[in-house]
Structure 1
Amino acid sequence: MVQLTRSFVISRMFFMGFLISGAAFGQTSPIEPVSAASSEIDAAAPDDAVGQAIQASLEPLRSAFPPLLTARRHQRVDVSRVVLDFYMHRNYRAAWTDDSDVAQLLKSLEDTRIDGLTPADFRISELAQAHESLVAAMPSTAQRAMFDMAATRTFITALLQLRRGKVDPSRLDIHWNFEPAGGNAREDMNTLFAALDAHDVARAFADAPPQEAIYRNLREGLARLRQIRDAGGWPKVAVGQSLKPGMDGVAVAQLRARLVAGGYLDAHLSTKAGYDDKVIAAVKRYQTEQYLGADGVAGAATLAALNVPVEARIDQVRVNMERARWLLYKLQGTFVIVDIAGYKVAMYRDGLPIWHSRVQVGKPVRSTPVFQAEITYITFNPTWTVPPTILKQDVIPKVQNDPGYLAANRIRVLDREGNVLDPSSVDWSNPRGIHLRQDAGPDSSLGQVVIRFPNDYAIYLHDTPHRELFAKTVRATSSGCIRVENPLQLVELLFNDPVRWNSAGIQKQLANGRTENVPLPVKVPVLLAYWTVDLSKDGRVTFKPDIYDYDARVLQGLSQPTKLPALDLRRAEVPLVVTGQNQL
């Protein structure tokens, strides 16, 4: 290696500060930690001065990241680790020597706005100015290396945000257990790096986000909403009284204009007057899609939804695009997915929907958690052991008010050993050492069947006697578990055995009255997810109530600036920052 000058040593300190100070961008490791095998790749020194400068700058990171570290599930690492691995696998060769590549990078970074990200996060103007200065002057080796590493860090950071999301979901929910990446993570990122080698940076950005139609529709919906915002937003409708069929006046004219702006009423009808049949149909369609009672009357709830500012709806789409980046890779093969905020469940086989049903989910005070598991067995004719929270808050007060409540609901009182107790022997003002169990039966709290997927929350899918609640638009009515409207249909599909476990076979199993656990021949993944948007049949984005108020925290994370260090080629030295600081 050539002899290093004092100025280069100072510049090397700058590079280290630049690389390590970006630790706040830690992401799930996109490529495997450097192994002994990969260290052989850079055994020979780079054959040019810029490569030698990059190698010297990154060398301290080799000790910061142990070379034989075994990747762990859900491991979080600094982007600096990815930068190091990137350069090691190319023998520290500079990556941004082609002006066209830099132009594509700058354009692609700007275009991240179409994915709901914030282009300003990537310090585009600083990169552009630095590149212009390199082109206009005779840059030093240190400056060329500095720019190259800055461009690479920005490139990787943007790709990771597009690929896996900007916000770390495990920081929003300590119980988050979805795997951080789908497929082969190293191969995934190396494919994107190959696009850079092929001088097709734009393709790397095009390939990074989810490729599913759902995501493309969200992107298109975001663009349409921004067009509406840029044109002045959609009209507000006067509140104060319900608007009903047959009415006329200024508020009805505003309602018609608002329905046109949202795509619910033909534009040529906007100048017509009155709350006519066309308006009734449009209001009902809007109410159905927004999870409001579809009565055709624009009451307080409907008017409030209509008057949500378009900017808030833009943010709602951005939040759900971020969720899509977390989860869409899971939507393949055979699986069951519960849409918590949408009160629905669906089963997919070979990636295609084969069944869906309405569900009831947890009340806001007893919310249904977001997690993934595997359905392993079915309980036929289940008994129900009353959970402690429901026992304390619901059942004991009912027993105190009505001594006949237990008998009427076929609930037995058991001691710690499982012996049946006489309810009259229990001090219901301070019951201790007991639990309650409801006998099996179609009118029991769990109905005829429970679909089990072992988890830390005692959550499951089950039948219910409260079938009247499925007719309601808002179905956050349970104590956390998911009540399914047509559970026996789902059980038949899960067994996927038309001979033994067809509809007749399931009815025969239920008819024997015994409580029995039957394992599935093949475990089926189940995903409990939370989305506050839907897509209509024509691809338009529609909006659901955020029943658990989860959107705000995701939006807050999206709004936090990405802490990329400043790039100024005139600076020679910055303080070193300890690696791992502010790591995601």
Structure 2
Amino acid sequence: MLFVVFMSCKNSSKEEFVESEDYFDTIRKMTVHAMPEDLLADKTDSIRGLYKQFDNHEIWIDSENREDLISQIEKAKYEGLNPEDYNLSKIYQIELRKDSLQLEEQLAYDILLTQTFEKICNHFYRGKLNPKEVYDNWDLYEKKVALSSLIKPAIENKKIGATITSLLPTHPQYLSLKEALANINTLPNSKFDSINTNQKIKLNDNLEVIKEIKRRLVYWKDLKVNDTLYTSKYDAKTFEAVKKFQARHGLKNDGVIGIGTLKALNYNKETRKAQILANLERWRWFSRDLGDQYLIINLPDYWLNYVKNNDTIATRKIVCGRPKRMTPILSSRLSNFVFNPTWTVPPTIIKEDLSVEASANRNYFSRNRITIYNGKNEEVSPYSWNPDKAESYRYVQTPGYNNSLGLVKFNFPNHHLVYLHDTNHRDYFAYTYRALSSGCVRVENPVNLAKLILSDQDNGRWKSIDSIRKERAEREKKLMLQKNYKPKKLTPEELAEKMKLEAEEKDEIDKIIDKKDTYYIKVKQPIYIHQLYWTSWKDKNGLQFRDDIYNLDMMLYEKLKSS
């Protein structure tokens, strides 16, 4: 996995300035002016570093390069950025009188263009804002770009536009968000009145509020205007349109209009556009290269994808942290799997859950198979436990199917002490709203996912029994195609014994789980994990929105507007 490393020009003291002289460019037939030290003296080290690439001469002498830069500034709006943040009006005005500028004005303009180039490149590559200054629990790989190595070939080869656009994210999600922005900009400006009703609306209901719901569905293009009369009847075509709308918003698409559907219907164009702009910024924060193999989790969508060589080979539902115990957004690398894990109760749960419930009933410990240890690692009886000093003990739950971590845990280094794991609340995966955990991500059918991830290492030792049987069947099929193949005839007793053995056959990981002893398997391949957060995109079914479960969208949008 490749990460671009920023080679900073910044030192504890500025590098010594090397004076240059004007020279005559015989190809362009013009004088290229040296930059006086006093013009660069108060500029950042990075700007001084860019001029150093040109031996401290002006950079933007070619009109083609200036036009290219201006064009990229104009196109910034398609990335959800404001062109005026990149001095567009000022550059327009100066460019109109470029030929009449005095030398000092010309050199100052050159510096403005260089500063603008640096700013738009950094914003395209790593975002306008620093995620760690916006959110407390974001722990992504740092993104910086070595502009000093890019600017000279870009200027010399007249590739300013291509160089700038090469810094934009190329993820399908980012490209779909750009489509979403273009799509929502085509909609008329909207000022919706809030739709309110105290009852669930079902097919064939007759209510006055149905008229406004139909108008809203037509606006969002889930219902064709020719498919409905604006009557108060909840008819079949409107029912199908509601199901489509619900699916686009990650809601249960049963056609029943309840609180969740009404909430989504009450969002207007401006709010949805703000959501798209916030998500575009986030994708500029995320790693450009997610890896050849990785797990990517979209928390608001409650889904995990396992991607290998650009193909999604497995998907899983997930449960993430509830709003008061948010799952952190991070990128890391899988280190190991723990089968039959014990669970050590974390401090937050000790304080908010365990101490309260156990104080009311000491059977809490036996019921939950939790052993108490004191500071000397000595086992403590529940009846000797001091609830006033609850946080001074260590609490460990024994392994098993009903352990809070279930049968497997996915470990990866991070500063938040979180991991992926199985769960003893497997019924939660049937819910539409799944922000229900204490911070870690719970994964549906995680044992099979772990087997799939491990299947290529240790000479296939960890393959699932299904994979083993499939490979065996393929070998037998090839044998049967050979000319001299003669199948062995089995007696009824031998056939019965064979079928019994096959039915009882287990793979290595299932054997480990059956022993109920904790077992670690190191992940030897580079497999990355990305716990990310995006609430909007566009696909073949239209604009997609998800509930902003942690209320992060508008906070980011407001900061983008004010920065």
TM-score bracket for this pair, using the shorter chain length: 0.7 to 0.9
Q: Which of 398, 408, 414 is equivalent to 1:439?
A: 398
- Post-superposition Cα deviations, 1:280-299, rounded to whole Å, max 9, x if no partner, equal 22212322332333331222
Percent identity, please.
27
Deviation at 1:366, TM superposition (A): 1.1
Identify if the C-alpha distance between structure 1 residues 234 and 349 changes in structure 2 by more than 3 Å, giving closer, same or farther. Answer: farther
Identify if the C-alpha distance between structure 1 residues 291 and 432 changes in structure 2 by more than 3 Å, giving closer, same or farther. Answer: closer
Deviation at 1:234, TM superposition (A): 7.4
Distance 1:294 1:277 in 2: 14
Partner in structure 1 of residue 460 of structure 2: 499
Deviation at 1:464, TM superposition (A): 0.6
Q: Which of 325, 333, 345 is equivalent to 2:292?
A: 333
Deviation at 1:482, TM superposition (A): 0.9
- Does the 8 Å contact 1:192/1:207 carry over to 2? no
Identify if the C-alpha distance between structure 1 residues 371 and 43 changes in structure 2 by more than 3 Å, giving closer, same or farther. Answer: same
Partner in structure 2 of residue 56 of structure 1: 37
* SS of residue in 2 equivalent to 1:425: coil
Partner in structure 1 of residue 479 of structure 2: none
Partner in structure 2 of residue 384 of structure 1: 343
In the alignment, structure 1 residue 119 sits paired with structure 2 residue 83: yes
Distance 1:465 1:354 in 2: 26
Deviation at 1:166, TM superposition (A): 0.4
Partner in structure 2 of residue 253 of structure 1: 211
Partner in structure 2 of residue 397 of structure 1: 356
Unaligned residue ranges in structure 1 (runs of 5+): 1-27, 62-78, 562-584
Aligned-partner residue type, residue 89 of structure 1: Q
Identify if the C-alpha distance between structure 1 residues 212 and 337 changes in structure 2 by more than 3 Å, giving closer, same or farther. Answer: closer
In the alignment, structure 1 residue 551 sits paired with structure 2 residue 510: no
Partner in structure 2 of residue 481 of structure 1: 440
Query: Quick check: 391-400 or 434-443, which moved more?
Result: 391-400
Identify if the C-alpha distance between structure 1 residues 433 and 301 changes in structure 2 by more than 3 Å, giving closer, same or farther. Answer: closer
- Does the 8 Å contact 1:46/1:91 carry over to 2? no
Identify if the C-alpha distance between structure 1 residues 267 and 331 changes in structure 2 by more than 3 Å, giving closer, same or farther. Answer: farther
- Does the 8 Å contact 1:50/1:145 carry over to 2? no
Distance 1:313 1:110 in 2: 23
Deviation at 1:151, TM superposition (A): 1.4
Aligned-partner residue type, residue 96 of structure 1: W
- Does the 8 Å contact 2:341/2:407 carry over to 1? yes
Deviation at 1:421, TM superposition (A): 1.9
Distance 1:536 1:512 in 2: 45
Question: CA-atom RMSD, angstroms?
Answer: 2.8
Deviation at 1:335, TM superposition (A): 1.3
Q: Which of 20, 33, 57 is equivalent to 2:9?
A: 33
Partner in structure 2 of residue 20 of structure 1: none
Identify if the C-alpha distance between structure 1 residues 278 and 270 changes in structure 2 by more than 3 Å, giving closer, same or farther. Answer: closer
Identify if the C-alpha distance between structure 1 residues 404 and 109 changes in structure 2 by more than 3 Å, giving closer, same or farther. Answer: same
Q: Which of 114, 117, 131 is equivalent to 1:169?
A: 131
Distance 1:432 1:365 in 2: 20
Deviation at 1:120, TM superposition (A): 1.7
Identify if the C-alpha distance between structure 1 residues 29 and 42 changes in structure 2 by more than 3 Å, giving closer, same or farther. Answer: farther
| Paired positions, count | 506
Partner in structure 2 of residue 140 of structure 1: 102
Identify if the C-alpha distance between structure 1 residues 295 and 424 changes in structure 2 by more than 3 Å, giving closer, same or farther. Answer: same
- Does the 8 Å contact 2:294/2:529 carry over to 1? yes
Identify if the C-alpha distance between structure 1 residues 175 and 363 changes in structure 2 by more than 3 Å, giving closer, same or farther. Answer: closer
Aligned-partner residue type, residue 211 of structure 1: T
Partner in structure 2 of residue 233 of structure 1: 190
Partner in structure 2 of residue 160 of structure 1: 122
Aligned-partner residue type, residue 178 of structure 1: L
Alignment of 1:287-302 (within 5 A): 287-302=246-261
Aligned-partner residue type, residue 252 of structure 1: I
Distance 1:429 1:152 in 2: 63
* SS of residue in 2 equivalent to 1:521: coil
In the alignment, structure 1 residue 511 sits paired with structure 2 residue 514: yes
Deviation at 1:50, TM superposition (A): 7.3
Partner in structure 2 of residue 269 of structure 1: 227
Alignment of 1:524-535 (within 5 A): 524-535=527-538
In the alignment, structure 1 residue 471 sits paired with structure 2 residue 430: yes
Deviation at 1:41, TM superposition (A): 12
Identify if the C-alpha distance between structure 1 residues 344 and 374 changes in structure 2 by more than 3 Å, giving closer, same or farther. Answer: same
Identify if the C-alpha distance between structure 1 residues 59 and 276 changes in structure 2 by more than 3 Å, giving closer, same or farther. Answer: closer
Partner in structure 1 of residue 496 of structure 2: none
Aligned-partner residue type, residue 130 of structure 2: D
Deviation at 1:192, TM superposition (A): 5.9
Partner in structure 2 of residue 213 of structure 1: 172
Distance 2:79 2:414 in 1: 33
Aligned-partner residue type, residue 463 of structure 2: N
* SS of residue in 2 equivalent to 1:92: coil
Deviation at 1:169, TM superposition (A): 1.1
Q: Which of 76, 91, 95 is equivalent to 2:59?
A: 95
Aligned-partner residue type, residue 129 of structure 2: V
Aligned-partner residue type, residue 102 of structure 2: S
Distance 1:130 1:431 in 2: 69
Partner in structure 1 of residue 143 of structure 2: 181
Deviation at 1:356, TM superposition (A): 1.3
- Post-superposition Cα deviations, 1:148-173, rounded to whole Å, max 9, x if no partner, equal 11112112211221121101112124
Distance 1:309 1:30 in 2: 41
Deviation at 1:357, TM superposition (A): 0.4
Unaligned residue ranges in structure 2 (runs of 5+): 25-29, 465-506
Distance 2:163 2:526 in 1: 35
- Post-superposition Cα deviations, 1:425-478, rounded to whole Å, max 9, x if no partner, equal 223354464222111110111111111113222211111110111111111111
Partner in structure 1 of residue 237 of structure 2: 278
TM-score by length of 1: 0.80
